[in-house]
Amino acid sequence: MSDAPLVFAPRPADPPPPSTIGVVGWMRANLFSSVPNAILTFLGIYIFYVVVSAIVNWALVNAVWEAENRRQCLDMVGRSGACWPGVAAWIPNLIYGLYPKDQVWRINTGFLILIAWAVPLWLPRVRSKVAIGLSLVLAYPFLASYFFHGGQQTLVWTALIALGATAFAWTWLTSLAEMRFGLGFGPLVARLFGAADDERARRIGWGALAALYVLTFVIVSQLDFVEVQTRFWGGLFLTLVISGIGIAFSLPAGVVLALGRRSEMPLIRVFCVTFIELFRSVPLITILFMFNTMLPLFLPEGVEVNRLLRAIVAVCLFASAYMAEIVRGGLQAIPKGQYEAAAAMGLGFWQSTSLIILPQALRIMIPSIVGNFIGLFKDTTLVSIIGLFDLLSMSRAVGEDTRWLGLFIEPFFFITLIYFVFCFLMSQYSLNLERRLGEGQRR
Amino acid sequence: MSAAIELVGVSKWYGGFQALKGLDLTVAEGERVVVCGPSGSGKSTMIRCINQLERHQKGDIRIHGQALTGEPKRDAPILRETGMVFQSFNLFPHMTVLENCTFALSWVKQMPLAEAEAIAMSHLERVRIPEQAKKYPLQLSGGQQQRVAIARALCMAPRIMLFDEPTSALDPEMIKEVLEVMVELAGTGMTMVVVTHEMGFARTVADRVVFMDQGEIVEQAAPEVFFSAPRYDRTRLFLSQIL
Ligand SMILES: Nc1ncnc2c1ncn2[C@@H]1O[C@H](COP(=O)(O)OP(=O)(O)OP(=O)(O)O)[C@@H](O)[C@H]1O
Ligand SMILES: [Mg+2]
């Protein structure tokens, strides 16, 4: 039979030439592809080696780990090695400032509560994440300020602290209930009581919350923390307080200002534009100075605003003005058709803004928002200028201690690491967030 | 019985430029009207005035006999009887197809989620893409996106559907799948106002063709009359250019 089809037998695949794969291939392609490239590679390696070995020698190899004072360090290694005992002796102050040693547990507990409050936001199957996030931003400050500041409780004060404590308890009860039973805390209690209809279930849910509030109120009123005035606050603790409040305040305030700037009501628009432009065109240092020295002049006689509060207000206003412009940029990137589609389906302004526009805009803006947070975190070092002992000024105080006189570089090195770790984590988290939120929705 | 849509002397200015010059138009219930005309003639402006995406400055608009007042709160229930489909789809990219459809049901009509999803799925089946419900809009083709947009509008159970050039951003084979859905919709007796240059659609589906130029309605007639014996020179010129 002459017309039987030919059989096609595929040839086995050859391996790629060895010079193009593996470590050697990669190095040949990227580091030594030409003579100038090779020279640059060697130069780069050399510079890297010189810098890193100098740092390692100073910070680790030649460093002194045990000494009574700086004199002993200098006698042992001179200036060729770091004198870490000075930093170690000051670590409590670098972290807590002049906060009384026997009260430091309150700061730690306060921050642990913050972390515990935020944990449900990352837990799977927790559905009330928006409510939890809001409760955190709105209610945690009351709880935290009592832990950090303490002092006499008035009735209103106790009520607010109990509100914070209730919100915290609710967060965990509702998270556990949702993870275990797929129901929030209120509905779960209603189920246990066998509520007949929605209306009764809702009433039982609120009743349970009220009971929780009464309980926390009783507990909170038993607490008796001695007052620690803010002039004893300092170090990393103070830095975190200022930047934390600045961050938590500036995002919502920025959104409000940005919306105001686009408002059709002239009065609101003019106010927002003036505010934003004013605060954006003045350096933060100037604003801090203004608030510190001039604010008392405008206030009535006898009204004293705490120095820390003045700094926090200044930082918040400054950060919100910047945030407002970032948010406005994000809002502008959303096509008009999105508003129109929402309006055509009968959504009002607030619904379409909060559910359609902002979620999209905030997603685009994550990198700039986190960039702004990082900037804010580092800018808090400026408060040292108006006499607050943040991390930076605390590190300078080490070298003024008579035992460690002149020890400046080591504490700087140490706080540089602290700043780096915080900023690096923020930036990594933002990259991660961006990747996760963008899944399936890239244009 | 009152008309579905009634425009009486509707004028609209953008700054000093008059985009609509005293339009009069009545659309009966269940009627299918195709609007055509050259670019810039005011077709979009008219259809956007009907559901108040643009506010007209003069004249009256009545939907099922109820006049629009220009006051968002009072107009909202009246406007809920209209649904709109846009040239650029305008789906919400951060929500899945299903969420796009259930969204307004939950937030405007306060419907429980399960019920809203059942309604959404029934409309997605109607436009023949139930299997895409869990995807995000930008993972779909243009034709599929436009069909989702139609389903999304239908979920709100409007009695009037407005289309503003629903197929002009699409490739030819996708135009067909969208037009098929629209023809089917016309078969259900829905009142429809469609701005389009698809004259085949106008011929087979429309009860009436409206021709606009320079913010005015030049002429309107049943499609067989409109295409075979247009009365105005302007209409003839337009038809000679697009046919
Ligand atoms: N927001 C606006 N501001 C100013 N002028 C506008 C605006 N929208 C439309 N116009 C003008 O109004 C006129 C009518 O516009 P419209 O969009 O209604 O036309 P159209 O018939 O839909 O055209 P096309 O076929 O290009 O969509 C045009 O001259 C246009 O330039
Ligand atoms: Mg148009």
pLDDT of B167-198, one tens digit each?
999 998 899 999 999 999 999 999 999 999 99
Contact B180, B133 (CB under 8 A): no
> How high is the pLDDT of residue A440?
55
Mean pLDDT of A58-74: 92
Query: Of B47, B74, B90, B100, which to mutate for an interface test with A (greatest number of A Cβ within 10 Å)?
Result: B90
Pick from A340, A344, A363: CB nearest B94: A363
Mean pLDDT of A133-154: 92
pLDDT band of B210, cuts 50, 70, 90: very high
Contact A226, A299 (CB under 8 A): no
Least confident of A6-10, B49-53, B163-167, B208-212: A6-10
pLDDT tens, A310-321?
Answer: 999 999 999 999
Cα–Cα distance list, A416 to A409, A412, A440 (Å): 10, 6, 38
Span from the CA of B40 to the centroid of ligand 1 (angstroms): 5
| pLDDT for residue A22 is more than 70 | yes
Q: Give the burial string for B202-229 (b: 16+ CB within 10 Å, else e).
A: beebbebbbbbbebebbbbbebeebbee
| pLDDT for residue A193 is more than 90 | no
Q: Give the burial string for A361-370 (b: 16+ CB within 10 Å, else e).
A: bbbbbbebbb
Global ipTM:
0.92
Query: Of A334, A338, A340, which to mutate for an interface test with B (greatest number of B Cβ within 10 Å)?
Result: A340
pLDDT tens, A414-435?
Answer: 999 999 999 999 999 999 888 8
Strand, coil or helix: B192? strand
Nearest CA to ligand 1 atom 3: B14
| pLDDT for residue B215 is more than 70 | yes
Contact A113, A141 (CB under 8 A): no
**Are residues B94 and A343, on separate chains, in Cβ contact within 8 Å?**
no
For residue B36, is it left (φ>0), alpha (ψ between -120 and 50) or beta?
Answer: beta
> How high is the pLDDT of residue B40?
93
Q: How many other CB atoms sit within 10 Å of the CB of residue A332?
A: 11
Mean pLDDT of A65-81: 91
> How high is the pLDDT of residue A8?
83
Angle, to 10 degrees, between the axis of helix A358-379 and the axis of helix A307-332?
140
Atom of ligand 1 nearest to the CA of B45: 18
pLDDT tens, A219-260?
Answer: 999 999 999 999 899 999 999 999 999 999 999 999 999 999
| pLDDT for residue A303 is more than 80 | no
> How high is the pLDDT of residue A428?
94
Which residue's structure tokens are 């510079």?
A47
Pick from A338, A344, A348: CB nearest B51: A344
| pLDDT for residue B144 is more than 70 | yes
Q: Which of B11, B13, B41 to mutate to test the pocket of ligand 1 (most atoms within 8 A of CB)?
A: B41
Q: How many other CB atoms sit within 10 Å of the CB of residue A353?
A: 18
> How high is the pLDDT of residue A3?
73
Mean pLDDT of chain A: 90
| pLDDT for residue A21 is more than 80 | no
> Which residues form the pocket of ligand 1, taking CB atoms under 6 Å from any ligand atom?
B 14, 17, 19, 37, 39-45
Angle, to 10 degrees, between the axis of helix A235-261 and the axis of helix A129-149?
140
> How high is the pLDDT of residue A16?
78
- pTM over cut 0.90: no
Name the residue with higher pLDDT: A5 or A164.
A164
pLDDT band of A305, cuts 50, 70, 90: confident
> How high is the pLDDT of residue B198?
92
pLDDT band of A84, cuts 50, 70, 90: very high
Residue of B nearest to A440 (CA): B136
Pick from B92, B94, B104: CB nearest A346: B104
| pLDDT for residue B112 is more than 80 | yes
Burial environment of residue A62 by CB neighbours within 10 A (0 to 12, 13 to 18, 19 or more): middle
pLDDT band of B123, cuts 50, 70, 90: very high
| pLDDT for residue A106 is more than 80 | yes
| pLDDT for residue A1 is more than 70 | no
pLDDT tens, B9-39?
Answer: 999 999 999 999 999 999 999 999 999 999 9
| pLDDT for residue B101 is more than 60 | yes
Q: Write down how long chain A is.
A: 443
Residue of B nearest to A358 (CA): B94
pLDDT band of A190, cuts 50, 70, 90: confident
Nearest CA to ligand 1 atom 26: B39
